[in-house]
Amino acid sequence: MAGKMRKAADFTPAMAQKKRKAADLTKDRSKSNKKPNKLNKTLGGGGGSDDKRKRKTGPRLPAPLRKVLGGTKRSTDSLNDSDENISSDEANDFYEYEEPLPQEESGKNRRFDIVKNFLLDPSDPVEEDENVSSEDDDDKDDYDGVSKIEKSHGWRGSSEQHGDEVEDDERHLRMLQTVSGMPSEAFEGKKKKKKNLVISEAYPESEFNPSRDVLNGNGQISIEELIEPLQGKPGYSEIRKLIHEDKNSTSIQAPLPRVEREMLERKAVYEQSKKDITKWEPLVKMNREAPSLFFDEDTNLGFSTVGAIASGFEPRTEFEKKMAILVNDDKVKEAHNEDGSKLLELNKISAEEYLEDRNHIARMRSLLFRHEMKSKRIKKIKSKTYHRLLKKDRLKSASAEMLMDPEAAKEEARKQEFKRAEERMTLKHKNSSKWAKRILQRGLDAQDEGTRAAINEQLHQHALLTRKMNTMKDSSSSSGSDDSDEDDVDENSAGSDPDAASKLFAKAKEKTLKVLQEDDEVPTSGVLSLPFMVRGLKKRKEEAVEEAKLALQEYESSLKDLEDTGGEENAKVGITSGRMVFGAPKRDVPKPKPSNKMKTDNYYRNSDSEDDLDENIDVGNEMRNDLQKDVNVDSGFLNEDADVHRDSVFKSFDDVVRDPGPKTSYDVAIFASGTWKKMKKGKRVDANIKKSTVVGKPVLQNQEELAEESDTDSEGQMVDGILSAGSKPLYELPSQEELVRLAFAGDNVEDDFEKVKQEILNEEIPEPEKPNLLPGWGQWTSVQRKKGLPSWMLEEHEIAKRKREEALEKRKDAHLKHVIISEKLDKKAEKLHTKTLPYPFTSKEVFEQSIRVPVGPEFNPSTSVGAMNQPDVVKKSGIIIKPIKFEEVNAHEKTEEHKGQKRSGNNQKTNKRKGAGGKRTGVRPLVVKS
């Protein structure tokens, strides 16, 4: 045990040191001083009183010295931290526990008997064995034990023995205690009994009376025996004490088994670390209770300014390095430093130059703007023809440019060539596509015009693209000639002389004739010789011929016109150009008939329907002219309908005055009927039908109506008059009861209420449906009819009925006759209720209170909204949050903090800082607390 103790002593200073290193908290210092004490205390708890006894062992100062030192040392030691002192301190501490032990003193008187008797009993070897095995004492101890037996009444030896005995007992006691969980007092009696069993020897043991062991030869003379004769002499007691102590010091107990020892150690360690960890409790508690935690303070982002970042820049890539070399070049720097201002001076420009520059820029800008506007305007034009022409123009100009510019021409040629090559390679346009194949498969005849045209177009494209270069050249030249022809035509048309026009017409005629004559050849080979192609061509040719013929006729007629009417020609041409125009001439002066007829002729050749339409319109024109006035008046009348009808009446009368005819009657009819809708209808439909026959009737009707109204009124009055007049003479005063009965004759209030209540009850707790059988379902109909409803159905119905009755009984208004208490659940309101009280709330009121005040920005001033909506954890992404650091917290400060927060809800920023100070900021604690 001493060894162990020494170990403990060794380990405490080391521990203290470590501890000091680990936690530099002053608070811990005192703790570390107390630690060994505590440790031993707990050890003592495990080892019992034998530990205490053992603690006396080990090298130590003589008792008197120790006693002297005892008072002073302890006080100094508690303050002293040096390692050596701790061990001695320990010793002192042990003594502190030794001294007050009353057991030794109290047990002394009894020990004589017990030990002596016990020892003399040789028939009890168990005790001896136990002694040896359990104690593992060294030889010396054993020997002592033996020598004690030799002694007759040596109380010293006996005391020793008794010590062992007590030890054993106590261990046993402890064991019992742990096993049974009962207090040690319960086992006290047993021990005493045992002690009483010991038998004393006949005569005292002494040098003259050697014990049996001594006689046997294995006894030895002990110091106690030697100083026995000195008893009664003056210094005897001191000597005895000294010897006693000396002997005690030698009785070292063997260490505990490892398992047990480690367990004790662990226990101690756990207690200690538990205590240490507990220091965090107030801090953690405060954090948990805080409304929100702040982790967004102390944001050290490394760089604060752009300059700081730039200064830390190091060139890495080659480019950057080159740049760095240039920038950091001494010469450049020098030049910059010296000539910086000069360079700027050199940059000076004269006023004229500046003006010129500015003007140039302005011009360019205006040009750009104009161009933009122009393109916008052009883009806005919707005419397709215009755009077509524009496109043509552009193409022409492009081709011209191509001609002018060999580069562009080459480019164009290359493009063309590429296209051609592509076509030759892919044969994209040669009926090889899925679409074309399908069409061919179905037969071209089955297709409609459009499809056929598309196919033709495609083939044409193919032919064009696969034609050889020289042919291409030919075509281009021919097209060129065409172009020139067209140009000629344009020029001709541009000249608006009638002569030129006639010339032009003649030319056109010539050309068409040529076409008509020419188109006789039929290709004999190639694609065009295919039957369908031939057919197609034929058709086309026919069409073309027809067109040409038409054109010819037109030309002829126009030529004739030219000759006939010189002046009117222009206008006429304008008329033929399109349908859109025809309204205008009609609006103008009516045309002479011959021209009109001629027009119709022209139209006849083109298409019938159009002409018909025109004819109709022309025909109708006359009628319209007649009706025009009428229509105008009508519209005006309609507009004013919405106003008071008297106006319209006046108007209609005006009309009547203006031109008496069918119209007047019609207007009157409308007014008289009184419904404006009808009037409209009538206007449309009956315009021609209604005549003066209607005139008289409605007016009459109206009058009749008026008369009727007045009649009814007067009748009512009269009736009243009759009633009052008739009842007065017959009246008798009825009794009060009768009066009441009469007053409430109609309404049966109570019954009504009951009915209403019954209805409400039925609504809230509906009556169960009557069981009904579907004939033939589940059983044959005959069987059903015979057996009636199955029992389970009846039973169910019964149960449902009973339940309903019970529910009715349970209602709050079940026994209140004149009250209805609705227990209907509003499903919509149900959504706004919780089924149970939510967890952290202790009562309904608290919960309702918690959601009473709104938190939104509309309902609270902006100064307090922030505090109300603060999240539980305020953090910023990108900031490392460190683990908690210990700081002292006291409750007083905390409450203050809380108050402060509540009050300073307005100023969020200060609030935050304050809160952070009070609450445990897990972030690096910059907060310095005094």
Give me the residues that bind other proteins (CB under 8 A), please: 11, 15, 18-19, 22, 262-263, 265-270, 272-274, 276-278, 280-281, 284, 287, 293, 295, 312, 316, 831-835, 838, 847, 850-852, 854-861, 865-866, 868-873, 875-884, 886, 920, 922
Q: How far is the CB of 906 from other proteins (least distance, A)?
A: 14
Euclidean distance between CA atoms 720 and 713, whole angstroms: 11
Q: How far is the CB of 13 from other proteins (least distance, A)?
A: 13
Residue 293 beta carbon to other proteins: minimum distance, rounded to whole angstroms: 7
Q: What amino acid occupies position 704? A: E
Name the packing angle between helices 531-564 and 449-466 (round to 10°): 100
Residues near 621 by Cβ (< 8 Å), separated by ≥ 6?
586, 590
Radius of gyration of the chain (CA): 65
Nearer to other proteins, 580 or 880 (CB): 880
CB of 884 to other proteins, least distance (A): 5
Please state, in angstroms and as integers, the Cα–Cα distance from residue 262 to each residue in 46, 252, 257, 614, 723, following that order. 12, 20, 9, 123, 121
d(CA 644, CA 496): 61
Q: Please, which residue, 443 or 871, has the CB nearer to other proteins?
A: 871
| Residue 59 DSSP symbol | S
Instruction: State in angstroms the smallest separation of the CB of 928 from other proteins.
Output: 19
To the nearest whole angstrom, how small is the minimum distance from the Cβ of residue 918 to other proteins?
15
Three-state SS for 126-167 is HHHHHHHHHHCCCHHHHHHHHHHHHCCCCHHHHHHHHHHHHH
> Minimum Å distance from CB 883 to other proteins?
4
With respect to other proteins, which residue has the nearer C-beta, 690 or 920?
Answer: 920
Token pair for residue 475? 């075509």
* Shortest distance (Å) from residue 238 CB to other proteins: 43
Query: 3-state DSSP call for residue 499?
Result: helix
Which CB, 63 or 283, lies closer to other proteins?
283
For other proteins, which is the closer residue by CB, 264 or 552?
264
Is residue 693 a contact partner of residue 723, using CB atoms and an 8 Å limit?
A: no
User: Which tokens sit at 660?
Assistant: 């008496």
Give the residue carrying structure tokens 């083109």.
Answer: 606
Measured between alpha carbons, how far is 60 from 70 in angstroms, rounded to an integer? 13
Q: Smallest distance from the beta carbon of 857 to other proteins, in angstroms?
A: 7
Q: How far is the CB of 87 from other proteins (least distance, A)?
A: 18
d(CA 554, CA 629): 40
Specify the 3-state DSSP secondary structure of 749.
Answer: helix
- Least distance to other proteins, CB of residue 46, Å: 11
Q: Which is nearer to other proteins, 623 or 832 (CB)?
A: 832
* Cβ-based nearer residue to other proteins, 11 or 653: 11
Q: Shortest approach of other proteins to residue 891 CB, angstroms?
A: 19
Q: Cβ 339 to other proteins, closest distance in Å?
A: 35
The number of beta carbons lying within 10 Å of the beta carbon of residue 921 is 24
Closest Cα partner for 81 from 1, 17, 159?
17
CA nearest neighbour of 517 among 553, 548, 540: 548
CB atoms within 10 A of CB 21: 8
Going by C-alpha positions, the residue among 130, 3, 107, 111 that lies closest to residue 55 is: 3
Q: How far is the CB of 859 from other proteins (least distance, A)?
A: 5
Residues 6+ apart with CB under 8 A from 493: 504
Closest CB to other proteins among residues 566, 857? 857
**Whole-angstrom distance, CA of residue 653 vs CA of residue 248:** 151
885 Rama sector, left if φ>0, alpha if ψ -120 to 50, beta otherwise = beta
128 Cα distance to chain centroid:
82
- For other proteins, the closer of residues 406 and 838 by Cβ is 838
CB of 257 to other proteins, least distance (A): 15
Q: Which is nearer to other proteins, 656 or 881 (CB)?
A: 881
Residue closer to other proteins by CB (options 497, 858) is 858
Question: Whose Cβ is closer to other proteins: residue 138's or residue 262's?
Answer: 262
Nearest CA to 702 out of 740, 666, 673, 742 is that of 673
Q: Which is nearer to other proteins, 98 or 262 (CB)?
A: 262
Tell me, what DSSP letter sits at residue 455? Answer: H
Between 87 and 870, whose beta carbon lies closer to other proteins? 870
Report how far residue 760's alpha carbon sits from residue 812's, in angstroms, rounded to the nearest whole number: 14
**Residues 6 or more apart whose Cβ sits within 8 Å of residue 174:** 48, 184
Hey, is 359 helix, strand or coil?
A: helix
Q: Which is nearer to other proteins, 153 or 267 (CB)?
A: 267
Residue ranges of alpha helices (H) inside 815-904 are 827-830, 844-850, 862-868, 891-903
For 66, the token pair is 């120790």
